[in-house]
Chains A and B, each alone.
Chain A
């Protein structure tokens, strides 16, 4: 199953469950309190996911390692390499 199909399946299940509860399609006589909570859930979940995404990406950008040492080490090794290669006869 492709990821797209997985998502469509998952979304269908959630929407069906939400529809059944909110509109009481199975005539379960669900208490009004539950229906009032379930009804705005899709929007709530989208908002929560949106906030989670922003927070996660923000955190990851803020903690993205800056490899200062790696850059310096590379510079030093480049100098060393050039000297050594010249000795070995490389014409740059």
Chain B
């Protein structure tokens, strides 16, 4: 006799101008969750996108059902931390998956995250581009060098026990995510780093799954001096305060 699996996975998709990608990511999520048999919902948190992302989301809700595609929009761009808080409030799952909506994170890894979580009872499962057969598509030498250099520095200074700190493709137990978002104060890349560092501080267990990251926006959004400086500032802040 099989025991009904009561786990439910809420995928939080903060969006801003993702009119083209949103249908595709939802289609992929539906495909892989459907094949896996796990219970799920997709929560689209649109920050008032001027390109009509919300209208496309409404169509998707019509196609897949309001129990699968939930819309929880906000009026303007308010940042990732608050998007997570907002999403968690409306999530009916006991697990939360956070990921990018621009197709750099592929839903095919979600069943692997879930499997890993079940195997180890992990509080957090983090997708890593840096270990196992994880990797990246679309980065030139400069980008790879900056990425590995930054990660090395982070490992030396913070010894975080996770190989990819700036990644944002993760599975959290809902109550764990709530605790972490409550405590984190940084923005951008550093926010994701701080989540992992605080998770370790609080004694939460972290598992890893190698993922492939397909960067289709790198060409348009170069990693410039400003981002590097703010990353270093954030890293040093974490170094001095955690």
A64 at the interface (CB under 8 A from B): yes
Q: B60 near A4 (CB under 8 angstroms)?
A: no
Q: A64 near B135 (CB under 8 angstroms)?
A: yes
Interface of B, secondary structure class, is helix
Q: A61 near B141 (CB under 8 angstroms)?
A: yes
A71 to B134, CA, bound (A): 13
- As a 0/1 sequence over residues 201 to 213 of chain B, the CB contacts with chain A under 8 angstroms (1 = contact) are 0000000000011
* Known contacts A81-B28, A90-B60: A67-B242 contact under CB 8 Å: no
B24 at the interface (CB under 8 A from A): yes
* Known contacts A70-B106, A74-B103, A81-B24: A57-B148 contact under CB 8 Å: yes
Q: B159 near A57 (CB under 8 angstroms)?
A: no
> How many residues on chain B are close to A (CB under 8 Å)?
40
Q: How many A-B pairs fall under 8 Å by CB?
A: 87
B144 at the interface (CB under 8 A from A): yes
- As a 0/1 sequence over residues 122 to 138 of chain B, the CB contacts with chain A under 8 angstroms (1 = contact) are 00000000100111111
Report B-chain residues with C-beta under 8 Å of the C-beta of A90.
Answer: 23, 56, 59-60, 63
A57 to B157, CA, bound (A): 15
Residues of A within 8 A of B (CB): 2-4, 53, 56-57, 60-61, 64-68, 70-71, 74, 77-78, 81-82, 84-85, 88-92
Enumerate 20 A-B pairs (CB-CB under 8 Å) in ascending A order.
A3-B157, A4-B240, A53-B152, A53-B156, A56-B152, A57-B148, A57-B152, A64-B136, A64-B139, A64-B147, A64-B148, A65-B212, A66-B135, A70-B212, A81-B28, A85-B63, A89-B62, A90-B56, A92-B20, A92-B56
